[in-house]
Structure 1
Amino acid sequence: MAPTRSDGNAAPAAARTGKISRYLRSPSTRMAALGGLLTYLSYAYAHGSWANPTLIGVSIFVGVFLPSYAKLSNKAELWANNQFGFVTGGRFGRFVPQLAFNLVMFWLMLWGGALNQAGIASVGGFAGAAVVTTLASQGTQYLGGYLVARGIGDANRNTLVGILVNVTLAALGTAGVPGAREGFLLLGFGLGGTLFLVGLLSDLRSVIAPKGGIGLFFGTFNPFHNSHIALLRAAIDQRGLDKVIIHPVLIPKLHVDAFRKGEIRVGQLKDGFQIYEKTDKADSNVDYFPTGNVFLPPETRVALIELSLAEAGLADKVEVAVYSDVYYARGFQGVIAEIKRRHPGVRLHIIHGTDFGGMLVRQIADECGWIYPWCILRRDKVSATAIRRGAKGMTPPVVTDVLAQISQNLPTVTAGGRHFRNDNGVLTEGK
C-alpha cells in the first residue's frame, strides 16, 4: 500500500515512483531504448566508431528523447495545419523541427569523429545526410500509419520497423557502403518526396476544385454545434453541392483498440456524457485522447445531428448515414468506398477543419482517390470542447434543449416532434 498524507492522498514520492514505473513499462519507452541501441550499433558498425564517446552520447540521448521528439513533431504539424490549412504546410511544420534535430545530431557526430568523412561527403555532408534522413523519416512514419489504418500491424510496431529501416540505411548510406547509399537516397527522396508530392496535389485540388457533386462530412460531432451548421451552408453554397453526407465517428478506432486491450475505460457518467480514463495498462507515451476524453454516446450524437438539420431546414440537402459494420471493419476508408459504390461516378468533396480530427479526415480522403478538399480555417470561439466544459450559446436550440433534458436524467426526451428513451445519455427513439 502506498504511503499517504493526512489528507488521504498518495505521498509525492509514491506518486513519482508510480509515474516512473508506468513510463518504464511503456512500449514507447522500450521502442525508444531500442532505437537508441540501434543507432549506436548501426553507426558503430558502419563507421568503425565502437568506442566513440560522441556516438555513445548521441545514442543515449536518442533512446531517452525519442517519445518526446514524436510528441513535439505532432504538435508542430498541428500548429502549422491550424495556421495555413494546407497539407503541405502541416508537413513542413513537422519537417522543420525534425530537420533541425537531425542537423544537430549529424554535426555532433561529425565533429566528434564518429562518422566516416568520405562516406558522409558522398551524401552531401552532414547537412545532406540530415535532409535525406528527415525525408525518409517522414515517409516511414506516414507509411506506418497508413498500414495501421488498414489493419496491418499497430502504431508502435510499425513505427519501430520504420526506425529500424531508416536508422540502418542512414548509418550504412553515410558510410558509403555500396548499395546502402543508393537505398538511403531512394528512401529519402523517393518515399519522403512522394509524400510531399501527394500533399501538394491535395492542396491544388482544394484550390481548383470544380463545383457540383456530393460533400462528405466526417467527425465526432461531440456535440453538433452552430459552426457545423454554418460550415455546411458555406460548403453547399461555395461548391454548389447537390447534397452532403454526414457520417459521424461512432467510437474512434483508437479507442476501440484501447478498450479491447484494457488501456482505457469509461470512468464515469456526467450529464449524459461518458468520461474516458486511462488504466494502469495504458502506455504513458500515447495520447489516447487527442480530441478530448468526454463523449456523448454515438446514438445520441446521431440524433442531435438529425434534429439540428431539421431545425435548420437542411434535411433535404444533408443526409445522415451510419454504416456501422463498414466503419468498424474498415474505418472511414470503407465508408468512402461504400459511398462511391452507392453513387458511382459522382464527384466527391471532403469537408473538414484544421484541427487534429479534421486533418486526419483530409488524409484519409487523399488516400481514397481524387477527392476535392473543402477546408475551413476555424477562427471562431465555437468548439465542442468548450461546450463539453459548460460553454453556452454555441449549439442550435434543439441541441441545447436535448442536452438539458439529458442532464436532468429524464427517462424520456422529447424534441422536434420525436420521442427518445434516455438510458444514461443513450437516446433510443420510441415512446
Structure 2
Amino acid sequence: MPSVRLAACVGVIMYLSYAWGHAAWSNLALVSVSVIVCLLLPAYSRVSNRVEELVNHRWAVVTFGRLGRFAAQYLFNVAVFGAFLAGGVVPDAGFRGLGGVAGAALLTTLASQGVQYMALALYNRGVGDQNRNVLAALSINIVATALSTTGAPLFRHVMVIMGCGFGGLVFGLGVLSDLRGHWFPRRGIGVFFGTFNPFHVTHVDIIRQALDGRGLAKVIVHPTVVPRLHARALEKGEIAIIGNDGGLDVMERTAKADAHVNYFPTGKRFYPPQTRRALIAIALAEAGLAGRVEVLWLPEVYRDHGFHGVIARIRKLHPGVPLHGLHGSDLGGMWVRSIYDECGWIYPMPVRRRNNVSATAIRNGAAGMTTPVVGEVIARLREGVASFATAGVTFQNSNGLLSVRDRHDA
C-alpha cells in the first residue's frame, strides 16, 4: 500500500540520517523511534488531517486550520526529539543551538508544513505523484533536521532558514487569504466549484449572498467531472464502480486499495457529472438566478488541469476582473478553498456550515433540502422512471444519466 510504503521510507530515512549524523547505528532509542514512525505515521497523518478538518469546519479560517495541524505535528516532534535526547541519539549540545528540544521541534514542524504544502501544490498542478512528492518533501526535511543537530553552524543556519522560510510561506499565504476574505472589492465575478452531489438550497443561498453582498456581476458555477482522487484510483484499480442505485453510481474499494487512504470523504455514491450539471441548471432557474449565474462546463480542461485550468480559462475570458471564490467550511469546500489560494489573488467567500442541509442526507432520501423541482427529479431518478415530465420539461433517465428530451412551455 502506498501509505505503508511511504511510512516505511520515512522511518528508514530518519534512522539513516540520525545514525550517520551521530554515529548512533546501534542506538536502541533511534531504532525504536524509527520503527514507531514506520508503524504509526499513517494513523498520525489521519489524526492531523482530522484536526485541521474540524477546525476548518468550525471557523472556515485557513490559518486556524493550519495552526491545528501544526499543533498536532509539533507535539509529535517534541516527543520524538525528547526521546532522542533521553536515549542519547542527539546530545544536549545538538539541540542547544536550535533552541532546545522545543525550538528544534518548532523549526522542523514549520519546515515540514511548508515543504509538504509545496509538494502537494505541485501535485495539484499535475507535477509528480502525490506520495512521491510528499516523500521527497519529508525526506529533505528529515535530513536537514538531522544535520542541523550535529552542531555544524552551516546546517543550523539552513534549518533556521527552512523553518522560517517555508513555514512563513505557508502561514503567510494563509493569512493573506483570510484577510482577502474580510477585505474585498464589491465588484467582479464569483466562481463556485464543487461536486454538488446534488445541488441544494444552501448552494443557492451562498450564490445569493455573493451576488447581493459583494455586488458581483455574476457567479460562474462548475461542478467536478470525475474528481482527480477518483480518476487516479479508478485508473490504478484501487476503486471501482460496482453499479447504479437510484440514479447514483456506486463506488467501492478493491483489493488493491490502500487501507489508509480515504477514497470517499464525501460518500461512495455520485450522480453522473451530466446529471449534476442538469440539476444545477434546474435549481438556478427555479430560484430565479439563471440570468445571473453561468453554469460552465469544460470537461476536457478539468480532466487535464483540474479546477486550476478552469480558473485559468475564466481569467482569460475575464481579464483584469476581480475573482471571488465561494466555498463552504466542509471538507470539500475547504479543498476548493486551497485551489483558489494556489491560483493567485482570489478573494475567498467562506460560508460556515451551520444548518442541517446535507447532500449526503439528500442522497439517503431526505426531502425538503433542494428546490422543489430538483427534489421531484431526484425522486423520479430514485424510482428508476425512464421518462418523466415536470415543470414543463420532459426528462430522459438512462441509468441515472439525466437529459432533456422535450420542452413544452406554455
* Residue 93 (1) aligns with residue 68 (2): yes
Match of 2:350 in 1: 375
Q: Distance in 2 between matches of 1:370 and 1:179?
A: 36
Q: Give the distance between the partners of 1:27 and 1:249, measured in 2 at CA.
A: 25
Partner of 1:304: 279
2:115 corresponds to: 140
Instruction: Supply the distance in 1 between the matched residues of 2:256 and 2:298 (Cα, whole angstroms).
Output: 31
Q: How far apart, CA to CA, are the structure 2 residues paired with 1:182 and 1:335?
A: 41
| Corresponding letter in the other structure for 1:113 | G
1:109 is matched with which residue? 84
Deviations 1:107-162 (A, max 9, x none): 11111211032221111111111001111111122111111111111111111111
Structure 1 gaps of 5+ residues are: 1-25
State the secondary structure of the residue aligned to 2:345. coil
Tell whether the 8 Å contact from 1:27 to 1:283 is kept in structure 2 after alignment. yes
Whether the 8 Å contact between 1:307 and 1:416 is mirrored in structure 2 is: no
Match of 1:22 in 2: none
What is the match of residue 61 of structure 1?
36
| SS of aligned partner of 1:430 | strand
SS of the equivalent of 2:353 reads coil
Provide the C-alpha distance between the structure 2 equivalents of 1:303 and 1:224, rounded to a whole number of angstroms: 10
Gaps of 5+ in 2: none
Which residue number corresponds to residue 154 of structure 1? Answer: 129
Question: What is the CA–CA distance in structure 1 between the aligned matches of 2:195 and 2:390, rounded to whole Å?
Answer: 21
Return the offset for 1:416.
Answer: 3.3
Cα deviation, residue 178, structure 1? 4.5
Over residues 24-70 of structure 1, what are the superposed CA-to-partner deviations in whole Å (9 max), with x where a residue is unaligned?
A: xx121121112111111111111222222111111111111111111
The structure 2 residue matched to 1:334, chosen from 287, 300, 309, is 309
Residue of structure 2 in register with 1:17 after alignment: none
Out of 39-48 and 243-252, give the one that drifted further.
39-48
Match of 1:227 among 202, 220, 230: 202
Question: For 2:20, what is the secondary structure of its paired residue?
Answer: helix
Matched, 1:274 2:249: yes
Pairing partner for 1:387 from 352, 362, 378: 362
Of 29, 33, 48, the match for 2:4: 29
Superimposed CA distance per residue, residues 348-400 of structure 1 (whole angstroms, 9 cap, x where no aligned partner): 10000111111111111112121111111110000101111222211111111
Instruction: State the partner residue of 1:345.
Output: 320
Are the aligned partners of 1:311 and 1:416 in contact in 2 as well (CA < 8 Å)? no
Judge conservation of contact 1:255–1:264 (CA < 8 Å) in 2.
yes
For 1:115 and 1:269, the matched residues in 2 are separated by: 57
Q: Which amino acid aligns with 1:296?
A: Y
State the match for 1:204 in structure 2.
Answer: 179
2:100 to 120, 125, 134: 125
Match in the other structure for 1:168: 143
Q: Distance in 1 between matches of 2:108 and 2:393?
A: 58
Alignment match, 2:213: 238
Q: Is the 8 A contact 1:406 1:413 kept in 2?
A: no
State how 1:356-367 maps to structure 2 within 5 Å: 356-367=331-342
Counterpart CA distance in 1 for 2:315 and 2:368 is 37
Which has the higher mean CA deviation after the structures are superposed, 43-52 or 312-321? Answer: 43-52
Cα distance, 1:234 vs structure 2 = 1.4
TM-score, structure 2 length as denominator? 0.97
2 CA distance for matches of 1:239 and 1:302?
Answer: 25
Tell whether the 8 Å contact from 1:95 to 1:134 is kept in structure 2 after alignment: yes
Measure the CA separation in 2 of the matches of 1:415 and 1:247.
Answer: 25
TM-score, structure 1 normalization: 0.92
Report SS of the residue matched to 2:197.
coil
Aligned residue runs from structure 1 range 237-256, under 5 A? 237-256=212-231
Q: Distance between the aligned counterparts of 1:383 and 1:219, measured in 2?
A: 14
Q: Give SS of 1:179's match.
A: helix
1:77-102 C-alpha deviation (Å, 9 max, x unpaired)? 00110111111011001000110111
Aligned to 2:18: 43
CA RMSD of aligned residues (A): 1.2
Structure 1 residue 194, shift from structure 2 partner: 0.8
With 132-141 and 375-384 compared, the bigger mean Cα shift is at 132-141
Change (3 A) 1:250 1:415: farther
Are 1:185 and 2:192 counterparts? no
> In structure 2, how many angstroms separate the alpha carbons of the residues matched to 1:414 and 1:76?
46
CA change 1:309–1:182 in 2 (3 A) is same
% identical equivalent positions: 50
How far is the alpha carbon of 1:233 from its aligned partner? 1.1
Q: Distance in 1 between matches of 2:314 and 2:289?
A: 20
Aligned residue in 1 for 2:239? 264
Partner of 1:13: none
Structure 2 SS opposite 1:99 = helix
How many pairs align?
A: 406
State the partner residue of 2:385. 410
